[in-house]
Amino acid sequence: MNVMNELLTDTLSPKELAMALGVSESSIKRWVDSGLITVYRTAGGHRRIPRNDAIRFARQKGLRIARADILGLPGLEAVERSDTLDGDLLYRLLTSQKSDHARNFIHAAYLSGVSLAELFDGPVVAAMKRIGEEWLSGKQGIYIEHRATAAVEDIISQLGTLQPEPLQILPLALGGAPPNDPHTIPSQMVASMFREHRWRTTNLGPRTPLYSFVDATQEEKPSLVWLALKTELKDDQVSGVVALCSRLLEANVLPVLGGSEAVAHEGKWPGGIRLVNSMTELDQIIADLTPVDAS
């Protein structure tokens, strides 16, 4: 066990974790001793457990969070257990300026063991698709869509603080959206999916020139590059993506394409790329590429 600074906001004592999970302190110590929970010692010799590793363990074991406030998530206590998070509920929360409630519901579902793929493919996609249609209602619809998009971006970003730390022994996934695509949420979700499997990630974000993917690949040496293709692609833009994918394949880097435009042009992509229609499909691809002994 290594020595680390006392970052009390990011770590828990065995006693605190026992209270958070509603189990005995002896159970925590037994899990620590068996290597199931990561523990460090402070300069003073005290045991500290990284919060996100504690959350990872609780989700894997299907343990209910008894005291979310101890994990630094007091808002989760207010989530009504009788309400099921679905697209309709998330839509109502996001369009009624209750983004804090939306965050609490998503984080509570995640802590309860719901997978990111289920969250993203289910309530998040359903709510954002419906909110996207608000554009048709005029100026107010645009405002509502922009506000909801910003809220979901924040929620996914905050969700990252609950995820396990990446492992340096695992590959790097790099990606983003092409120059014509302004959407931020798809690549945010993809990066989160890789982080859940403890991959290292670099998210180049929206409106990324295709040559920047080449430059980043040469510098960072990823094993995989994703492209989120949601905005309509013209013929020359399709050709640019084809050329990029071919170049990546020549460098033994796996291109992964997702989004409505990736599917729309399915027959044009070079052989060897991976095409995904959902976060559930992406989750399986990442699982297949992750070494079985990675922990």
Q: Are strands 172-176 and 47-50 parallel, antiparallel or unpaired?
A: unpaired
Q: Among 2.160.20, 1.10.1240, 1.10.10, 3.40.50, what is the CATH number of 76-162?
A: 1.10.1240
CATH number of the 3-63 domain: 1.10.1660.10
Report domain extents, the chain: 3-63, 76-162, 172-289
pLDDT at 2 > cutoff 50: no
Whole-number average pLDDT of the chain: 91
Least confident segment among 111-120, 128-137, 144-153, 280-289 = 128-137
Taking residues 245-251, what's their average pLDDT?
Answer: 98
- Dist. CA 189–CA 194, nearest whole Å: 9
Taking residues 250-263, what's their average pLDDT?
Answer: 98
pLDDT at 200 > cutoff 50: yes
Residues composing the chain: 295
- Dist. CA 281–CA 59, nearest whole Å: 21
Nearest-CA neighbor of 229 among 244, 216, 218, 215? Answer: 244
The CA-based dihedral angle spanning residues 159, 154, 149, 242, taken in that order and rounded to the nearest 10 degrees: -70
- Dist. CA 253–CA 21, nearest whole Å: 41
Confidence of residue 249 (pLDDT cuts 50, 70, 90): very high
Confidence of residue 78 (pLDDT cuts 50, 70, 90): low
Q: Are strands 224-228 and 274-276 parallel, antiparallel or unpaired?
A: unpaired
244 three-class SS: helix
- Dist. CA 244–CA 225, nearest whole Å: 10
- Dist. CA 276–CA 120, nearest whole Å: 14
- Residue 35 gets which letter from DSSP? T
Taking residues 30-47, what's their average pLDDT?
Answer: 88
Buried b / exposed e over 221-260, threshold 16 CB at 10 Å, is ebebbbbbbbbebeeebbebbeebbbbbeeeebbbbbbbe
Who contacts 20 (Cβ-Cβ below 8 Å, separation ≥6)?
A: 12, 54, 65, 66, 67, 68, 70, 71
- Which pair of tokens denotes residue 82? 């009788």
- Which pair of tokens denotes residue 2? 């290594």
CATH top-level class for 172-289? alpha beta
